[in-house]
Amino acid sequence: MNVLILGAGGRENALALAIAKSEGLGALFVAPGNPGCEKVAHRVVLDPAQASQVVAFCLTNAIDLVVVGPEAPLVAGVSDALADAGIACFGPRKAAARLEGSKGFTKDFCKEFGIPTGAYQRFSDREAALAYVRAQRAPIVVKADGLAAGKGVVVAMSLAEAEAAIESMFGGAFGAAGSEVVVEEFLEGEEASLFAISDGSRVVAFGGAQDHKRVGDGDTGPNTGGMGAYSPAPVLSDATIEKAMREIVRPTIAGMAARGTPFSGVLFAGLMVGDSGPKLIEFNVRFGDPEAEAVLARLDDDLLEFLHGAATGRLPDREPRFSPDTALTVIVAAKGYPGAVEKGARIRGWERAAEVPGVVVLHAGTKRIGDEIVADGGRVLAVTALGKDVVEARERAYAAIARIDFPGGFFRRDIAARALNRRPAS
């Protein structure tokens, strides 16, 4: 089976490594990919946002399955174009991708199908939104309705912060994504991420993780696309996962099918786990990043079998197998992230870092210039370690990072602090 992965980040590097293990794989391509993908895949100069280019490449190279990494091509309809050309695609069609493409759409969907989530209101008028938050008071959550690369969410702990978020979004900080704003109830509890894979009718849980969104240690500073993750997350007990599948994931798959817009691909439910059980924060319609790096490191199964089955309406009739070990990912980012960053700084020692037992160094925002690897984005490397428990995985990840020479980078030093705090004292 010939496979094309669309995307360029750490998630796509992790997908390439996992798919490359499948006995059913023929040729593996990634577009545009990054230097970390080169050991297992052929890189292609191709814009994932240009559906016509993607389709033409697939037809020329006998591609049997396209795996879409990022959300933007899905929301733009690349899956529809591939389906029209008779090419299987792991990722929902445009109508189903609205579950991520519009936060307001998802909140309305939850109300219609009785899916537990926070109270909310939608606004296309700045003054109305300001009046609402002043009446509700803080803490409160303000979100740009559309895609904002994981940065269009402000958890406002003060009224002034909420007002500033509304002014910023309606002022064009996120372009068209902020032309409508969703203001939500602040939910108490712990955030966690649950993946599920569906073929449009059947759905199976596909691992969980806990992400670290804030840029600084102790969950300080602005939200980012993610500074690290670990899997499994203790807050996602087997009972909590089953409750989330029963009350959130399965009703969503059934509701989308009932609407005539069946969802196939990976449904990533961002959850708030509180005293009353899990509630939905938001949906994503692709693997999370950096959660995917941690979850896929634990997969003891044929990823390609599940991806192709979901894309063709033949999801395997079994649960996927995962290692009982813990995987932990630490993002090494360029200084300035999540704001403006300087590109081009040299990165050395990453091969030595990968020699630490249980460690793989995934590339997220790098490029090759001659024999050098240089930074080419905000999140640069995703150092992922597997260990018998969270302590061992954490020690291995940070030991690997200590071998990396990247003066222009930084990382959080407290990934998995919540999991460590849950451990009984020895």
Last residue within a domain, chosen from 76, 91, 106: 91
As a whole number of angstroms, the distance between CA 9 and CA 4 comes to: 15
Give me the CATH number covering residue 409: 3.90.600.10
User: Do 337 and 401 sit in the same domain of this protein?
Assistant: yes
Model confidence at 423: pLDDT above 80? no
pLDDT exceeds 60 at position 244: yes
Assess if residue 136 is contained within a domain.
Answer: yes
Mean pLDDT of the chain: 95
Instruction: Decide: helix, strand or coil at residue 383.
Output: strand
- Whether 86 maps to a domain, the answer reads yes
Q: How many domains does the chain have?
A: 4
Q: Are residues 202 and 299 in the same domain?
A: yes
pLDDT in tens, 310-322: 999 999 989 999 9
Whether 80 has a pLDDT exceeding 60, the answer reads yes
| 373 in Cβ contact with 35 (< 8 Å) | yes
> Domain check: are 394 and 286 in the same one?
no
117 pLDDT higher than 60: yes
Q: Is the pLDDT at 188 greater than 80, yes or no?
A: yes
Q: What is the pLDDT of residue 178?
A: 85
- 357-388 pLDDT, tens digit per residue, is 999 999 999 999 999 999 999 999 999 999 99
pLDDT at position 175 is: 87
Residue 37 is classified by DSSP as G
Domain carrying residue 28: 3-91
296-305 burial string, b = 16+ CB within 10 Å, else e? bbbbebbbbb
Structural tokens at position 407: 């003066």
Asked if residues 216 and 257 have their Cβ atoms less than 8 Å apart, the reply is no
Query: How many angstroms separate the CA atoms of 321 and 180, rounded?
Result: 41
Residues 332, 391 share a domain:
yes
Q: Are residues 305 and 213 in the same domain?
A: yes
First and final CA of the chain: distance in angstroms?
A: 50
- Contact by Cβ (8 Å): 221, 168: no
In a domain, residue 113? The reply is: no
> Are 71 and 148 contained in the same domain?
no
Mean pLDDT of 99-113: 95
Residues 194 and 173 in one domain: no
Buried b (16+ CB within 10 A) or exposed e, 154-184: bbbeebebbbebbebbbeeebeebbebbbbb
Do 365 and 408 reside in the same domain of the chain?
A: yes
Q: Give yes or no for residue 424 having a pLDDT over 70.
A: no
Residue 117 lies in a domain: no
pLDDT of residue 121: 95
For the chain, what percent of residues have pLDDT higher than 90? 91
**What are the pLDDT digits (tens) for 2-55?**
999 999 999 999 999 999 999 999 999 999 999 999 999 999 999 999 999 999
Q: For residue 148, tell me if it sits in a domain.
A: yes
Q: What is the pLDDT of residue 294?
A: 98
Taking 80 as the threshold, does the pLDDT of residue 131 lie above it? yes
- Where is average pLDDT lowest: 57-71, 166-180, 302-316? 166-180
What's the pLDDT tens digit per position in 335-348? 999 999 989 999 99
Predicted local distance difference test score (pLDDT) of residue 152: 83
Q: Is the pLDDT of residue 251 over 90?
A: yes
- The stretch 258-267 carries a mean pLDDT of 98
d(CA 108, CA 115): 10
Cα–Cα distance between 82 and 330 in angstroms, integer? 34
CATH value at residue 43: 3.40.50.20
Is residue 413, in this structure, part of any structural domain at all? yes
One domain for residues 199 and 300: yes
pLDDT of 61: 98
**313 membership: H or E segment, kind and range:** none
224 with 272, same domain: the answer is yes
Same domain, residue pair 197 and 132: no
pLDDT band at 425 (very low <50, low <70, confident <90, very high): very low
Are residues 374 and 293 part of one domain? no
* Residue 292 domain-assigned (yes or no): yes
Q: Up-side HSE of residue 86: CA atoms within 13 Å toward CB?
A: 2
Compute the distance between CA of residue 67 and CA of residue 350 in angstroms, rounded to an integer.
Answer: 27
Residue 426's pLDDT band, with cuts at 50, 70 and 90, is: very low
CATH of the domain at 168: 3.30.1490.20
| Residue 150: predicted pLDDT | 65
